[in-house]
Amino acid sequence: MTGANSFQVSGYGPRRAGWARLFARDSAARRLDWPLLLAAVTLSAIGTILVYSATRNRTDINQGDPYYFLVRHVMNTGIGIGIMVGIVWLGHRTLRTAVPMLYGASVFLILMVLTPLGSTVNGAHSWIVLGGGFSLQPSEFVKLTIILGMAMLLAARVDAGDRQTPDHRTVLQALALAAVPMLVVMLMPDLGSVMVMVIIVLGVLLASGASNRWVFGLIGAGTIGALAVWQLGILDDYQINRFAAFANPDLDPAGVGYNTNQARIAIGSGGLTGSGLFKGSQTTGQFVPEQQTDFVFTVAGEELGFVGGGLIILLLGFVLWRACRIARETSDLYGTVVAAGIVAWFAFQTFENIGMTLGIMPVTGLPLPFVSYGGSSMFAVWMAVGLLQSIRVQRPMSA
């Protein structure tokens, strides 16, 4: 006898037999990408320490409780991991049937932001305040639904065996699907999220096998569109100031260039090994704005130095590598496109977030995946991990 029955015959009983099934060669638990999961958990754990360091003395925002943000960050991470488990249990192929409903819900939520229910934070009218200190940023979930919706359309006929690559009509439908929420997010305005969505669209098209003419055409159209937005004065003043500070780092260091100037000072003062946890003068002195969210990498740079910052970058790179392997090894185009879209999302958002703290990218208000404080962002990235794990679990054993 083999499997669970052999355990019962040997006297182990049904409970041991259940564990045997769980960890059998073809079980979901054994087929999870454990290195990917460990890297993501480690990043969230590092983020918890950095968020605590950045907020423990911030009596202006922590309501007098030094553990206020720490507890919430841990809670957000726990909820995110729970959502990931649920997605793995359901399976990305099961969720495929719910994509139209998820897409509609995400568009509805971002439209609600444009109503009086929406709230403005740091110039971006992109939040819904739920009360009790909780808020929701729907644009974080739109990134996922764009990936899922485009993947569903682009892969439908290919996975059915009708075509080898998506045709032009299908590509147009996928682009129209992505354009609707992107236009709404632009109206908020949330330029950082739109930039991420553009990169996601390009990554999805490349992975789907669509004609390269679409990719080059979109890059050209995007360049023309960006110039038009600038010339027509569509951007808000705070967005123009951010680009101006990026173009000229010495511009008004006490005003529009304050954030990036203080961020570079914090990272530069860390040296090789940093000043030590909770001992950073820039962090303790509260000189870097939004340090628990957009500028959390400055805490690592100052207090953990080049070694700590490098470790975060390596872990994020490892997550991207494992996601690329999942995209390459899956047997269906739908799984490949979803995984590739997540890679494009994580890669660009990581580069943009760390880049803006170093002064090599403009400030856009994007969080660092798994590390920055924020419930919406944390839930979204762990949902993405759940999709990656589901794609890996449901691949053929020979893959």
Q: How much is the pLDDT for 114?
A: 84
Q: Say which range, 103-112, 158-167, 367-376, has the weakest mean pLDDT.
A: 158-167
CB atoms within 10 A of CB 178: 22
End-to-end CA distance of the chain: 28
Whether 260 has a pLDDT exceeding 50, the answer reads yes
- The stretch 219-235 carries a mean pLDDT of 72
The answer to whether residues 247 and 18 touch, using CB atoms and an 8 Å cutoff, is: no
Is the bond leading into 362 cis (omega within 30 degrees of zero)? no
The answer to whether residues 106 and 181 touch, using CB atoms and an 8 Å cutoff, is: yes
Whether 79 has a pLDDT exceeding 60, the answer reads yes
- Tokens in use for 45? 């754990």
Q: How much is the pLDDT for 227?
A: 73
The whole-model pTM stands at 0.87
Q: Quick one: what percent of the chain has pLDDT higher than 90?
A: 47
CB atoms within 10 A of CB 27: 13
Helix (H) or strand (E) holding 72: helix 68-90
As a whole number of angstroms, the distance between CA 325 and CA 318 comes to: 11
Q: How much is the pLDDT for 123?
A: 61
As a whole number of angstroms, the distance between CA 271 and CA 265 comes to: 11
Q: What is the mean pLDDT of the chain?
A: 84
Taking each continuous run of H as one helix and of E as one strand, the counts in the chain are 18, 3
Whether 333 has a pLDDT exceeding 50, the answer reads yes
* Cα dihedral: 218, 219, 224, 229 (round 10): 90
Whether 252 has a pLDDT exceeding 60, the answer reads no
Q: How much is the pLDDT for 157?
A: 85
Tens of pLDDT, residue by residue over 9-42, are 344 444 454 445 445 445 667 788 999 999 999 9
As a whole number of angstroms, the distance between CA 135 and CA 130 comes to: 5
Closest-CA residue to 192 (of 377, 388, 378): 377
HSE (side-chain half, CA atoms, 13 Å) at 189: 14
As a whole number of angstroms, the distance between CA 110 and CA 135 comes to: 13
Whether 243 has a pLDDT exceeding 70, the answer reads no
Q: How much is the pLDDT for 73?
A: 95
Is the bond leading into 189 cis (omega within 30 degrees of zero)? yes
Tens of pLDDT, residue by residue over 190-226, are 888 989 999 999 999 999 988 888 888 888 887 887 6
- Tokens in use for 51? 């968020």
The answer to whether residues 123 and 236 touch, using CB atoms and an 8 Å cutoff, is: yes
Closest-CA residue to 290 (of 366, 209, 221): 366
